[in-house]
Structure formats: C-alpha cells, structure tokens
Amino acid sequence: MTTPTLLPGNRFRAYRGDGATPTNWAFLCLGTSVTLTLTNAFEDATVPDCDEPLKIPVRKSVLSSTSWGGRIAGQVDATRLAKLRADAESQTPVLYQFRVDQSAANGGGAWTGTVFVENLEIAKTNNGIVGFTCQFRGDGALAWADAAA
C-alpha cells in the first residue's frame, strides 16, 4: 500500500509582497492559521434528451466565474500589525503569495494574486498575547506556479 506524503502545516505559508519590482516577499511570521478558498460559480440549464423526449431532463452546468479568498489568523507584533492595518485601509489590492513548500515532484509551488482585506480583527483574552484574524477577498486571477524541480 502506498501512503501519502503529508504536508506539515509549516510548509503552507502566506507571504505579503512589498510592491517593488522584482517583488520582495515578507513571510507573515505569526500567521499560524492560513485558509485559501477557491470558488467556482455555475449557470445551470435543464437539458432534455432530444432522442428520447420522455426521458427526465438532466442538469448541465457551465462555469460562469471563479473567485478566491480566505483568511489568515495568528498572533501579532506591532510591526506586522502596522502592515496588516495598512492592507485593511488600502483602496488598492495588495499582492500576496501562498506557498506549498515542496519540490514540484511533490506538488509544491505557489499561488500568487492580489487581495483586498474585508475585515481585520484584533483580539486578546485574559491579558494574553494579542491575536488577529484577517479575512480577505481575491481581486482578479489567482496564478499557480510550480516549484523548482
């Protein structure tokens, strides 16, 4: 029996682009939970069988659009909070990258795209460490690039 090679959580990471050319990527060091959601929207039609009109029609779906988004959560320090706050206040999308840190043969690569921050939540409990949750929506295409061999 072949067993899968599991991907440790520290091998799926989020990075923030700095807007320079070429892009310098900053690891969201304290983002301990990263979620990336890819969504397809469809238009449906009920299609009859023209050769057998008494047959029950079937649904046919046509992809009408794609979208993506997600959330990053974890602990925050003041320096990184300032960048997250700037992203939340930005009226232009910010470049982010989501890396699967493996070789191409093992499914590695990265999604890259621009995001708008929908909400940024900062919280603490019982005088503990300050945490954050950043909900974002993708703006435009999300590109995948395979890792180096």
Asked whether the beta carbons of 111 and 144 are under 8 A apart, the reply is yes
DSSP assigned state of 24: P
User: Please, what are the domains in the chain?
Assistant: 9-39+68-146 (2.40.30)
The 3-state DSSP class for residue 49 equals: coil
> For position 96, what pLDDT does the model report?
97
- Tell me if residue 80 falls in helix, strand or coil: helix
Query: Pick from 82, 75, 84: which is nearest to 33 by CA?
Result: 75
**How far is the CA of 6 from the CAs of 81, 100, 104, in angstroms?**
31, 12, 15
Task: Give the pLDDT band of residue 125 (cuts 50, 70, 90).
Answer: confident
- Which tens digits make up the pLDDT trace of 10-69? 899 999 999 899 999 999 888 889 999 999 999 999 999 999 999 999 999 999 999 999
Structure-block tokens of residue 123:
């919280």
Q: Which two tokens stand for residue 52?
A: 């057998």
